[in-house]
Structure 1
Amino acid sequence: MKKKLVVLTGAGISAESGIKTFRDSDGLWEGHNVMDVATPEGWHKNPSLVLDFYNQRRQQLKEVQPNLGHQILAELENDFDVYIITQNVDDLHERAGSSNITHLHGQLLKVRSSKDENYILDWQDDLNFGDVDHQGNQLRPHIVWFGEQVPALDEAITITEQADYFAVIGTSLQVYPAAGLIDFTKKETPIYYIDPKPIKIPNLRNRLEVIPNIASEGMIILKEKLQTNL
């Protein structure tokens, strides 16, 4: 039976494909204050701005490709039972060939009803005013904004509890509840932390190995380390 490798990924792995992160520039995401484009308040205040912002992100996503970090994670399925829990809203893990992906913060290529969070549609192109659900309610980006509940959190916790190996790649471990997942690992589960600017993780009971590299370089190292344990 294959060992279970659970991987928490963040913006750092997608940044190498050209997707910008708001944490790189004083709280701005592609020139916008995140409170204006990634909160329920921003949506109610200026929905046109929010729709346009995510339309641009959706178009940008079509212009980028998975990088080596994504590809190695997909390749590791040959040797491990790999589960990816991602904070990213892109589809680069899917395009790289990974099979088991839990999106904590939603997906750019989906939209949902502004009144019924369980009414979700695949969506490739622009989302405009007048695009509505079956009851006439405006559709909105299927993104978990700041201040909203994280529907996939319970699933992510269950997956994390079963991990034989746990890896953290390209995330600052600053955004909760995602950052708290590490606390649900079994105490005997080794943790690998890939980040060029790793932070100190307080009160960690597990064996931790820090790999202070960008995601793609770190994944090369991690793959070698994991395969020596086979």
Structure 2
Amino acid sequence: MSAEDGSTTPGTVRPGGRTARTRAAVRDAVLTGLAEHGYPGLTVEYVAERSGVHKTTLYRRWGSVEGLVTDALDLAGEDAWTPPDTGSLDGDLRALAHEVTDTFGDASAAAAPIAFIAAAFQSESTAEALRGFYAERFARCETVVQRAVERGEAPPGTDAAAVVRAVSAPLFFRAVVTREPLDAPLAARTAAAVAAAVRAGGYLPATSPEPADRPGSADRD
């Protein structure tokens, strides 16, 4: 969306052609900078040198390091990634879990996403962009559960968003909070546990129990 003075709000530019190539080059420089220096060490000067885009242009279009990081997350969410389709709920959940362990279990692959997470604790706009990125990512994954319902592998009404989060959450916790190692057996166990809970109805919407009659209430009617 353009501002009244003709400038653009950081993170909202979506044109194609040369501008798209510039945006992609800036995004790549931001990712590299985050991986190498983290959010506190990332500077507009670094992005300018790495991307080949003059820093005056960066300040005009993105405003600050915060704007650069936010737009890099926005652009990352525009990719063509689709969730796995293995033909079964167990296979799809296992594949999703393996994607998490493959990314966060490799130090070089995990550097940029972990830097984004760290940046979200220091910048509210980055935190908002990160929430949006993962919300959109998880929304794409909901088709995994929808297909399972159609195949009779999951009860109708299963909360698809809760399922895909449940597969990722224990792995993210180990990768980002406790910094424990991730491996394929862990991914398989996590996926199997979630699949079993799905089949048991563990992700159906909660229902409020009927209030129990209080002792002696009938005598007072």
**TM-score, structure 2 as length reference:** 0.28
Higher relative contact order structure (alpha carbons within 8 Å, sequence separation ≥ 6) = 1
Structure with bigger helix share is 2
Structure with bigger strand share is 1
**TM-score, structure 1 as length reference:** 0.27
For the pair shown, the structure with the greater C-alpha radius of gyration is 2
